[in-house]
Amino acid sequence: MNPSPGLFLLPPTTARAHTIGDTAPGSLFRLAVAAVQQRTKQLAFGLADQGLAVGGMFLVNVVLARTQSKEDYGMFALSYSIFTLLAGLHNAAMLEPFTVYASGRYRDRFASYWRLMMTGNLAIGLILSIALVLIYVLLGWVFPSLRSPSILGLALVMVFMLSGSFLRRSFYVRGQPGLSARAGLVFFFAVAAQLWVAARTHLLSGFSVFLILALAWLIAGIASARRLPFREPGVRFLHDEPHYWREHWAYTRWVLLTALLYQFAHQGYYWLLAAFLSVKEVGDLKAMYVLIAPVEQILISMSFLSLPALAARYAAHNAQGFLSFWRKYALLVLFVTTLFALAVRSTGTRVLHILYAGKFDELAPLLFLLSLVPLSMAIGNTVGDAIRAAEKPRLLFYAYVSSALATFLIGIPLVMLFGLRGAAWGMIVSASTHTIALLIAFRLRVYRTCLARSPEAYISTPTLPSLEDI
């Protein structure tokens, strides 16, 4: 029997106590306190996990930006943007449907479903590695100046990096962000130790950095392997669901197209700078956006925690709980991104100077402008999670189409006319377009459906959420 969505992500003992019918006031109070403590702990673990995972990449970017020339760092940034593109495709083809289905309709058969998806994850990683090798060879023929050893390094380690993402998402789906945080801690210290050795031995480069990241995820995976359902008993998933891949593709095809279009709204600006200016400006933009990444990782952590809860509520036809949770989630995300933008306004220049030893001080005026990009996408990201939970990925596709059009029609002229500042404004325009399109789609196709299921959901008044609500 599926757990009630209101009990999703609560400790098993708490859920059992509630279903037995213990309704004494004292017991209800203790249950409420336990639920608040558990949710607060999960959010803390989620934030720690994202902080540790992004902290490893933060160290990599800071060390490379300080030690390499701006041109070499720009080439690494372009190479990493390729990884971001491929990771987005992997997220669309594997992680997103895995999160939605494992948290919703298949949560009672998690072990067999997980093994099927892990096999698919490894297959996708190998396919993308082969594709990267072909890209590396092709660049050598067509654009020799853009063929970077970083691309070859990425090709060699793609399977390990994508498996690290799948590892962490597996723990979130099971409501165990603490285990993901533990893996993130191992990853962070493994990266830090290897960076120190590489710097001392003068082996630090874009190529070696990807090897460092892969080895760090391999160590974290080995440390966490016993927590994963490799050998749990159960019937093969495809035995009970022989047509699953057809259903998977019906969901994934729209998300794959969406992942491609997403690059035009975000990573596309790195490519535009490389095309119309130079790789030096690519490095400048990357160096600044590294300082914006922390808030994005906080939002990703909230998404990892919120998407399974939204999917469970929607799958159980709990429309009122679904909309109530989304409202609180949206208000909290808006609060966090606003607070971060104000923090960048007051301390961003000083932080930029300290981290890069004055190397990028001339870019300080653009830093606050870039901090408005996450704020522009704040509500849109929460709406996107609600739409994913409702299993309507086509709506996300249309939203990213509008964002990609904004990049072509507005972003390209801005980059050509104003350079790096134009790229920053273009990212804000693309992000805002994306949010507006998602809000319209959500209102027309998801919100009204929920209203039809539960008219009283319209009446509830949203209030500023506290941490335990997420």
- Distance between CA atoms of residues 113 and 239, nearest Å: 11
Task: Write down the pLDDT at residue 109.
Answer: 80
Confidence class for position 263, pLDDT limits 50, 70, 90: low
**Cα 75 from Cα 445, distance rounded (Å):** 42
Q: What is the pLDDT of residues 194-219, one digit of tens each?
A: 999 998 888 888 889 999 999 999 99
Confidence of residue 460 (pLDDT cuts 50, 70, 90): very low
Residues 88-105 have pLDDT tens digits of 888 888 888 888 788 777
Axis-axis angle for helices 25-67, 177-200 (nearest 10): 20
Cβ-based neighbour number of residue 247 at 10 Å: 13
- What is the C-alpha separation between 104 and 102, in angstroms, rounded? 6
Which of 166-180, 213-227, 244-258, 412-426 comes out lowest in average pLDDT? Answer: 244-258
In sequence order, what are the residues at sequence separation of 6 or more whose Cβ sits closer than 8 angstroms to the Cβ of residue 352? 288, 291, 360, 361, 363, 364, 367
**Lowest-confidence segment of 140-144, 150-154, 235-239, 456-460 by average pLDDT:** 456-460
DSSP assignment string, 331-382: HHHHHHHHHHHHHHHHHHHHHHHHHHTTTTGGGHHHHHHHHHHHHHHHHHHH
Alpha-carbon distance of 139 to 46, in angstroms, equals 39
Q: Is the pLDDT of residue 470 over 50?
A: no
For residues 154 and 206, the answer to whether their CB atoms sit within 8 Å is: no
pLDDT of 194 reads 92
User: Whole-angstrom Cα distance, residue 52 to residue 58?
Assistant: 9
Q: Provide CB contacts within 8 A for 250, sequence distance 6+.
A: none
Q: Which of 377, 366, 358 is nearest to 288 (CA)?
A: 366
**CA 297 and chain centroid, separation:** 7
Q: Is the predicted pLDDT of residue 296 greater than 70, yes or no?
A: yes
The count of residues in the chain is 470
Of the pLDDT bands very low, low, confident and very high (cuts 50, 70, 90), residue 356 is confident
Q: How many CB atoms lie within 10 A of CB 67?
A: 13
Which amino acid, 234? Answer: G
**Rounded to whole angstroms, how far apart are CA atoms 156 and 96?**
24
Neighbours of 356 (CB within 10 A): 19
User: Residue type for 89, please?
Assistant: L
pLDDT digits (tens, 9 = 90+) for 382-438: 998 888 888 787 788 888 888 888 888 998 899 989 988 998 999 999 889 989 999
